[in-house]
Amino acid sequence: MRDFLDNTFLLALLFSITFLITAAILYFFPRKRINHFYGYRTPLSIRSQERWNFSQKYFSVQMTKAAVAVIIISFFGSLLPKSETMRLFGSVFIVFAAITYMYSTTESALRKRFIESKN
């Protein structure tokens, strides 16, 4: 088992598990009111209560999708040469890509739902 874990993008795998737990908390226990401490907080999401409610659920779904994708991708580390540096950089890249995906898709959905619909 140790050899198997050594051959994965372990850092990415650990982050994805954290993403899954966080997504579940955000989905099942979203903050009801806009705040600056807990939840998906961006300038677009805090403009109104309706935007806030939408963004909390949407972001948690996107986070779940990203976490599942990262879990799957992290096992492909075993296909690369046994280089700790390569796995570390691979993990960082995968996690950065997942975070970019989560935020960009949520911000895009907020823009489409609340800005473009008023034109």
pLDDT > 60? residue 4: no
pLDDT for the residue numbered 106: 97
pLDDT for the residue numbered 5: 52
Identity of the amino acid at 111: R
Identity of the amino acid at 103: Y
pLDDT for the residue numbered 61: 97
pLDDT for the residue numbered 85: 78
pLDDT for the residue numbered 119: 44
Q: What is the mean pLDDT of residues 30-39?
A: 87
- The DSSP H or E segment spanning 70 is helix 49-74
Q: What predicted TM-score, i.e. pTM, was given to this entire model?
A: 0.83
DSSP3 helix / strand / coil % (the chain, rounded to 5): 75, 0, 25
Q: How confident is the model at residue 46 (pLDDT cuts 50, 70, 90)?
A: very high
What is the C-alpha to C-alpha distance for residues 70 and 10, in angstroms, rounded to an integer?
A: 11
What is the C-alpha to C-alpha distance for residues 108 and 119, in angstroms, rounded to an integer?
A: 16
pLDDT (tens digit per residue) in 68-108: 999 888 877 667 666 777 777 888 888 999 999 999 999 99
What is the C-alpha to C-alpha distance for residues 100 and 89, in angstroms, rounded to an integer?
A: 16
